Amino acid sequence: MPQLNGGGGDDLGANDEMIAFKDEGDHEEKIRESAFTESDLADLKSSLVSETEISQSPAVIRRGQQDEQRIYSDKREHLDDVPKHHDGGMYKAPYSGYPFLMLPEPYLPNGPVSPSSNKVSVVQQGMHPLTPLLPYEHFNPSPTHMPTDGGQKPGVHRHQTQEISGFYSLPQGQITPSMNWPNQPVYPLPSCGFRQPFSSGLQSGSSYPRFSHSLMLQSGMHPTGIPHPAIVPPSGKQEHDQFDRSIYNKSHAEAKREKEPKKPVIKKPLNAFMLYMKEMRAKVIAECTLKESAAINQILGRRWHALTREEQAKYYELARKERQLHMQLYPSWSARDNYGKKKRRKRDKQQDSSTEPGSPKKCRARFGLNQQTDWCGPCR
DNA sequence: CAACCTTTGAAGCGC
DNA sequence: GCGCTTCAAAGGTTG
């Protein structure tokens, strides 16, 4: 784990992070576990057991067992020494980068959150439990979205407990682009003389993803009925409508066959840099009046390297929490599940253009980026 | 309208 | 175990 106070590891890379996670996991586990009661965790455990029982592949079983074992052993290990850092229901994490680690009671299904409140305060409501960068502004946590009877859909993971689902049973909320992390560095708004070759103007509103109501209700939903940003329609957002239409263009059997195996796609959890990009993108857009993501990402890549270890550590830590939660929510999921689609496309493309010296598109893009060499200071 | 571009990091895969 | 590949987000651009 990245050293928050500058002590220890030099490398914030994935491997070191994971190793450090194992070594320094006690603190993290305590933080996480303080969100659950013992009975909650027992529920989680039993549900995970159920998950492994209904899982088909050995890999699924293996991961489910591992998760179950890990979670339960962690629970048993730390249940008695979990630091109680609650203040008015909001956990005060010792590490200030994660005010959202422990969700206050309003996040729980039975919490006092008013379902009618669409605009909620940052961090507290309407956002991803671990990434306040992910708004759920179009999600209406009406009771119809909350499976209180344990109703099970095909392919649904039964391990989802109410406690964990509480993490995701978030009311509508909106995050302003200016939302910051507690200790997040603030970049001054420059008089940016950036020349943008691609576009101009700042789009009103946030660039953060917005999950449409219909999307959530149809397939952007965690199997438990809890929407999660990691869950997207089977073919992705752009193919969403196409998917429905195509069914009617095919024979009934074909459509049925095609429809059945398609499950909501569970996306990979975001890594540290992705989380950083999500948070800072709007800021860079505002500062540099840029909209083209490739250029923005280059800026963000440089800024990422310019961050201090401590600043990066916040995101590595958050990413680790993301992975943890993702693993708990989808024990049977593997990155392999989303493998192959682009790979096949790329392979086909390489076969087609194996004799070509280079990609004109890439050269064009590089040329376009060369036009941006006169970035203003804040955009470097 | 799918694919591309661009970034870093995590994970999968093949050897 | 190492190196390569793929995918995660984003949205303008391209074909």
- What digits encode the pLDDT tens for the residues A28-57? 333 343 333 333 333 333 332 333 333 344
Sequence-separated (6 or more) residues with CB below 8 Å from residue A349: none
Question: How far is residue A196's CA from residue A305's CA, in Å, rounded to a whole number?
Answer: 23
Q: Which range, A73-87, A144-158, A202-216, A350-364, has the best average confidence (pLDDT)? A: A350-364
pLDDT range class, residue A317, cuts 50, 70, 90: very high
Q: Strand B-proximal residues, CB under 7 Å?
A: A 12-15, 17-18, 238-239, 241-242, 268, 271-274, 277, 292-294, 297-298, 300-301, 304-305, 312, 316, 319-320, 323, 334-336, 339, 342, 345-346, 349, 359, 361-362, 365-366, 369
The yes-or-no verdict on residue A195 having pLDDT over 80 is no
For residue A288, the model assigns a pLDDT of 86
* pLDDT score at A273: 96
Q: Which one, of A269, A240, A258, A259, lies nearest residue A333 by Cα?
A: A269
- Å from the A167 CA to the B14 C1': 38
Q: Which of A83-87, A307-311, A340-344 is predicted most confidently?
A: A307-311
In whole angstroms, C13 C1' to A164 CA is 41
The pLDDT-based confidence of A231 (bands split at 50, 70, 90) is confident
**pLDDT band for position A297 (50/70/90)?**
very high
Rounded to 10 degrees, the C-alpha dihedral A203/A204/A206/A209 comes to -60
For residue A232 the two structure tokens come to 């997207």
Query: Higher pLDDT residue, A236 or A375?
Result: A375
List the single protein residue with the shortest CA to C1' distance from B3: A345
| pLDDT of res. A309 | 92
Structure tokens at A34: 């303080």
Can you give the pLDDT at residue A280?
93
Chain C nucleotides covered by protein, CB below 7 Å: 5-15
Query: First CA to last CA across chain A, in angstroms?
Result: 28
Asked if the model's pLDDT at residue A331 lies above 60, the reply is: yes
Average pLDDT along chain A: 50
What is the enclosing helix (H) or strand (E) of A90?
Answer: strand A90-91
Determine the Cα–Cα distance for residues A310 and A159; give it in Å rounded to an integer. 35
The answer, yes or no, to whether residue A67 has pLDDT greater than 80, is no
Q: Identify the pLDDT of residue A262.
A: 58
The torsion angles phi and psi of A209, rounded to 5 degrees, stand at: -65, 145
Please check the confidence at residue A249 and state whether its pLDDT lies above 50. no
> Would you place residue A263 in the very low, low, confident or very high pLDDT band (cuts 50, 70, 90)?
low
Q: What percent of chain A stands above pLDDT 90? A: 15
Query: CA of A344 and C1' of B5: distance in angstroms?
Result: 19
Query: Is the confidence at residue A333, as pLDDT, over 60?
Result: yes
Amino acid at A37: T
pLDDT at A296: 94
pLDDT band for A106, please (50, 70, 90 cuts): very low
In this prediction, residue A336 carries a pLDDT of 87
Whether A230 shows a pLDDT value over 90: the answer reads no
CA of A316: nearest nucleotide by C1' is B9
pLDDT at A284 over 70: yes
Distance A112 CA to B3 C1' (A): 46
For residue A375, give both structure tokens: 């970035």
Residue nearest to nucleotide C15 (CA to C1'): A361
Nucleotide nearest to A297 (CA to C1'): B7
